[in-house]
Amino acid sequence: MSESSFRVVSLSEDEAAQCLPLIRITWPDVDLEHWRRFVRSYTAQRRESRSGALALRDAADYFSAMFAYRVEPDIQRGLVLAVQLFTAVDLTNSPDFVRILVSAAEAKARELGCSGIEIRLYRAQSTLALRLQSLRLVDSAAIMSKSVR
């Protein structure tokens, strides 16, 4: 597997349905309408380029990974590329796969004048967390949550 086997593309709301199987691997209860709203919330501001969704298409033109990002201020580091959703399905189990996606996030962060990236992961993504740690990303925060319906 090489980086040339993949293309980094901006994900549009129109392409959301094609990525739904990728999303459901980690979040099996997400339906198409909810997923479309999520993608729209990141891609609607594309004119200002402060948020968006990037995806990897493999050689067969299938989506194999993606992340949704926003530029946010961080109290310690200034502007960071905050990645709310980061998912990758590596059927080949290659150590390079996640590195390619992280490289795309780093490039986007530099393009937008950010000093770093912050990636939110969920407990179901523990294997992905190990891959990110092997790429020198550090676990620097915890997110505590509670529903407020």
The arithmetic mean of pLDDT across residues 70-83, rounded, is: 93
Angle between helices 96-111 and 126-134 (to 10 degrees): 70
> Does 92 have pLDDT greater than 90?
no
Lateral strand order in the sheet of 78-88: 7-10, 51-57, 63-74, 78-88, 116-119
Amino acid at 43: T
Kindly indicate the confidence band of residue 14, based on its pLDDT and cuts at 50, 70 and 90: confident
pLDDT at position 1 is 45
Q: Which range (16-25, 93-102, 112-121) has the least confidence?
A: 93-102
> Does 69 have pLDDT greater than 90?
yes
Structural domains of the chain, with CATH: 3-134 (3.40.630.30)
The arithmetic mean of pLDDT across residues 25-48, rounded, is: 85
> CB-based contacts of 116: which residues, under 8 Å, 6+ apart?
74, 77, 80, 81, 109
Cα–Cα distances in angstroms (integers) from residue 144 to residues 17, 43, 68, 88, in the given order: 30, 26, 20, 24
pLDDT at position 108 is 95
Kindly indicate the confidence band of residue 59, based on its pLDDT and cuts at 50, 70 and 90: confident
Cβ contact 49:28 at 8 Å: no
